[in-house]
Amino acid sequence: MIGTFASVTKEVTPECILAIKTYSKQHGKLALEHYQREVKALKRLDLKDANFAKEHHIVYLYSIHETPSSYQLFLTWYDYNLRLYLKQPQTTTRHTLAHSFLQQISQGLLFIHSHGIIHCDISPDNILVDSNGNMCIGDFGCSRMIYEKDQPVQNEVIGTRWYKAPEYLFGYKIYAPSTDIWSLGATFTELLIGKPLFQGNNDLEQIGLYVKTLGAPSKQVQKVYTLHYLFEDRLIII
């Protein structure tokens, strides 16, 4: 399995099955940033063991390792992410699966938010699922601390566009639990209707879909969030 900055391979040991997530150093500073954020978040959660992590619907980090060419995380293995799981023959209805997702991942988000962490990239690609339908939150590479003011790395993209809260497309850079709640709702809706609700081809198109469906942000909202200067430019273009 290959992502933007990392690849995942499976390793079977006498004790358990591991997912080895490898960040290549060829990706430079961006890969290092994602690796460091993922390790920082998972260590901050202070998960006692793999069973404790599973109960709280969070992927478990066993250990980390650095080689001359990569950074590696040794994690709990899950058979699928949610997107791949949906392509498997299902024994439950779409609504039952959506309810199970909402129940499990809401618990996971409650746990990580209680530890001061925002995931920032909840989507079907980052929800891990085993063969029994047990789900957990994975890929903390985009995570932030609650109310952390972002100092973005050049060309870095935080979150997956179709599931991204509107304020961040407008340029807002302070992260709050509402970030993940929007993404949770977007993924839940996709499970119910069978496709992503908002499918913009770029950020401006995504904003246009939000505004068309929900209306433009009020002046009060704009003032409260003190949004980035791109806010007005993007709204005018729409």
pLDDT attached to residue 226: 53
pLDDT attached to residue 158: 59
Q: Is residue 209 part of a domain?
A: yes
pLDDT attached to residue 39: 96
Selecting among 49, 79, 121, 203, the annotated active-site residue is 121
Half-sphere exposure of 68 (CA within 13 A, CB side): 0
* The overall pTM is greater than 0.85: yes
Q: Is residue 154 part of a domain?
A: yes
Q: Is residue 113 part of a domain?
A: yes
Q: Is the dihedral of CA 220, 185, 155, 64 positive or negative?
A: positive
Q: Is the dihedral of CA 26, 31, 35, 36 positive or negative?
A: positive
Compute the distance between CA of residue 166 and CA of residue 212 in angstroms, rounded to an integer.
Answer: 12
Q: Is residue 107 part of a domain?
A: yes
71 bridge partner residues: 23, 66
pLDDT attached to residue 65: 95
> How many structural domains are present in the chain?
1
Compute the distance between CA of residue 207 and CA of residue 162 in angstroms, rounded to an integer.
Answer: 10
pLDDT attached to residue 155: 40
Residue 194 tokens read as 């069978």
pLDDT attached to residue 83: 93
Residue 179 belongs to domain with CATH number: 1.10.510.10
Compute the distance between CA of residue 159 and CA of residue 147 in angstroms, rounded to an integer.
Answer: 16
Radius of gyration of the chain, Cα coordinates, nearest whole angstrom: 18
**pLDDT beneath 50: ranges in the chain:** 2, 152-156, 227-238
Q: Is residue 1 part of a domain?
A: no
Domain with 58, as residue range(s), is 6-237
pLDDT (tens digit per residue) in 180-225: 999 999 999 999 999 999 999 998 899 899 888 888 777 776 665 5
Q: Is residue 14 part of a domain?
A: yes
Query: First vs last Cα of the chain: how many Å apart?
Result: 37
Backbone region of residue 131 per phi and psi (left: phi > 0; alpha: psi in -120 to 50; beta: other values) = alpha
pLDDT (tens digit per residue) in 159-182: 688 999 888 887 777 788 999 999
91 burial via Cβ count (<10 Å: 0-12, 13-18, 19+): exposed
pLDDT attached to residue 231: 47
125 is catalytic: no
Q: Would you tell me how many other CB atoms lie within 10 Å of the CB of residue 154? A: 6
